[in-house]
Structure 1
Amino acid sequence: MRLMKYSAIAAALALTGCVDVDLTATVTGADTARLTGYMEVQTEILNMMGGAELFCNAEEGGTLEMTDTTARCNMLVEGTFAEVFEGEPGEPVPTAIDLGNGTVRVAFPLGEMTADSAEMRNDPQAAQMMGPMLAGHSFTIRIAGAEIVSTNGTIDDGGQSASYSFPLAEILNPDFVIPEVFEAVVRY
């Protein structure tokens, strides 16, 4: 499964408060990347979504782990930027541009991916209902490589990945601002 297909599912599920998301896109060359990470959802939500196949497709890089209470889709997808960042028509997709000097600029359109959160925030009933569902869940996306040259995210101690992460309950906070784009220039 491609990154944006996972990201679109993850963002939609995250906004319903029933999933934890942790995805890493590692730039491995001028036009290649590897996606790793997971989405974890409560088992009853998985059944409401239409089952395991829609949540975690083995043919597209997903490996499903089930317990009595949770379903976890571990992801591994490798290929060209076009293959890894492929999305459904009309969905926001990341961009990856080779800058020609051993670096690539990767940009994730977070504002478009989380646009529905404003509707919840502006509806007091929805916000009250969603608050407990969002509590304790988080959304994290990373861009990694040999070295992060610049980013608007948080660089790890080793300087090899940049991340943007937030507790999902924050989407109900009217003062919370999700950046339109999370980006990094990464050396491969």
Structure 2
Amino acid sequence: MRFAKFAAVGLAIALSGCIDMDMDTAILGPDQARLSGHIEVSREMFDMMGGEADFCPAEEGGTLELTDTLARCNMLLEGTFAEVFTENEDGSPSPTATDLGDGTVRVTFPMGDMTSDMDEMTADPQMAAMFRPMVEGHSISISVSGAEIVSTNGTLSDDGRRAVISFELVELFEDQPDVPEVFEAVVRY
């Protein structure tokens, strides 16, 4: 599953609650990346979504784990930037990776759609009251890794090799969520 599709599935589920998502994009070269991570949803949500085909297609790098209470899609996809990063089918902003020609790559993850979708939901106090308990305790973590993170607006790991943005979904219900419009990192490969 390419990054844009994986993230879109995660976002759709996130907006309905019941998700935990942790993804890393490792920059391996001037046009090579590896996406790894997982999305977890309750088994009930998974069954309501129609099962494996939309949630975790094996032909796109997904491996499904099911228990009585949980559905987890483990992702592993390695290839060129075009193979890992694709444009969203609906034309909305999608993640990008751009070789800067000096041994570094700029990686961007648009986050604005997530917060704007939540703005619509939280504008109605009754809807916000209904959805808030569903997202409590669930989180999203997106990271970029490589030989060195040159710059980022995320949190830099102690070893300087990973930039991370993480947040609890309940933060999206705040008036000014602490989620940037774009998560960005310049990575040396």
Where on the TM-score scale, by shorter chain, does this alignment land: which range? Answer: over 0.9
Moved more, 6-15 or 174-183: 174-183
Structure 2: gaps of 5 or more residues = none
User: Which residue in 1 is equivalent to 2:29?
Assistant: 29
User: Which residue in 2 is equivalent to 1:157?
Assistant: 158
* Structure 2 counterparts to residues 36-185 of structure 1, below 5 A: 36-89=36-89, 90-185=91-186
- Aligned-pair CA distance for 1:177: 4.1
Q: Give the counterpart letter for 2:47 in structure 1.
A: N
- Aligned-pair CA distance for 1:14: 1.0
> Aligned partners of 1:50 and 1:87: how far apart in 2?
24
**8 Å contact kept, 1:11–1:114:** no
RMSD: 1.0
- Aligned-pair CA distance for 1:18: 1.1
Q: Give the counterpart letter for 1:13 in structure 2.
A: I
Q: Give the counterpart letter for 1:97 in structure 2.
A: T
- Aligned-pair CA distance for 1:7: 0.4
CA 1:111–1:25: 2 relative to 1, 3 Å: same
Q: Give the counterpart letter for 1:165 in structure 2.
A: S
User: Which residue in 2 is equivalent to 1:7?
Assistant: 7
- Aligned-pair CA distance for 1:114: 4.0
**8 Å contact kept, 1:3–1:35:** yes
Q: Give the counterpart letter for 2:162 in structure 1.
A: S
Structure 1: gaps of 5 or more residues = none
- Aligned-pair CA distance for 1:113: 4.0
Q: Secondary structure at the match of 2:116?
A: coil
Percent identity over the alignment is: 59
- How high is the TM-score relative to the length of structure 1? 0.97
> Aligned partners of 2:43 and 2:70: how far apart in 1?
5
Q: Secondary structure at the match of 1:178?
A: coil
Q: Secondary structure at the match of 2:34?
A: strand
In the TM superposition, structure 1's runs of 4+ consecutive aligned residues that sit over 3 Å from their partners are none
